[in-house]
Chains A and B, each alone.
Chain A
Amino acid sequence: MASARGWPGLKMASMPITREEVAHLATLSRLALSAEELDRFASQLDVIIAAVARVQEVAADGIPPTTHAVPLTNVFREDVIVPPLGAEAALDQAPAADRGRFRVPRILAED
């Protein structure tokens, strides 16, 4: 389904991404995908990754990376005490709360 028409200078190439790799990425990303989604995303991600791999064509030896648009050093502000959000406001939109705390599912799996 996915096409790369019109992406400037695009040469379809290299390193296909497998369905197994996509399943691993989904696990790392905490996404419980269906079999149908894995199939679809595998073919789409394959095309997208081939397209973005074009950055590797650029001769960039010795070029420093830019992490942020505007260079910044450490930013400080005055150490002024301001009222915190408060437990009630923080819990107000929680999916589940219990005695002033977030209620969460058990942390450890059985296996």
Chain B
Amino acid sequence: MSRRLKGLAPTGAVVVGLVLLVAIIGPFLAPYAADAIDVSRQLEPPSGDHWLGTDENGADVLTQLILGTRVAVIVGVSTVSVCLFVGVLLGSISGFVGGWVDEVIMRVTEILMAFPGILLAILVIFVTQEPSLLAVIGALSLTGWSGYARLVRGQVLLEREKDYVEAARALGFGPARIITKHVLPNVFGPVIVQATFGVAGAILAEASLSFLGLGPQGQPSWGALLDQGASYFLLTPHLAIFPGVAIMITVLGINFLGDGLRDALDPRSQET
């Protein structure tokens, strides 16, 4: 993407900043309370009272969207944090230690990668029966860490052979210190880039799960709103349009930012 879309990275940063702000101060911004419903005004189109209309229960769509931002951000950031922690830990062990440990960890990642997209998350949430925020984050993290582990392993393998690692070994440092203090800081560029795209992916995955009725229950969520919207789109298209726009702008913003970060932090993987 590099030179082609240079101007878009700052736009992405602004969008991401706004989304984070809405997630943090959402309840103060929302025009109505989270549980405020007016059964006499279900599925209304946008109006002065309800800028983005109302949903099937008569709740304000704008309020639901604003509060849903928090869920999206929590799922996106927590999922990627868990994946990063597990992925970086196992990936660096795999790359640095090698041998059968590497073999085992890599085979496990291959098995997890055999479940495309949200398939394993669907299965896990189905069996846990009551999907909570935690269950959704756990289910998405279950497969998500494998990509980071493979990336970190690859980077560590490259770094391991370099002179500075040799020097650190000669100074008598242990493997834990060499990995955390010397190797990891040098491999973080591509990992951060991947993590940025990962947040976008996790937000989309949460929305998909919610759309399928497998998202966190009892929480306003973009995907769940869209699920409603899809059932009533003949009657009230607004209910399907706005949550989708919120998801798209957020994900697009994160992707723009990710492309910008890639240029800054990971010049090697730039498109030719």
Partners in one complex: no
Chain B interface residues (CB < 8 Å from chain A)? none
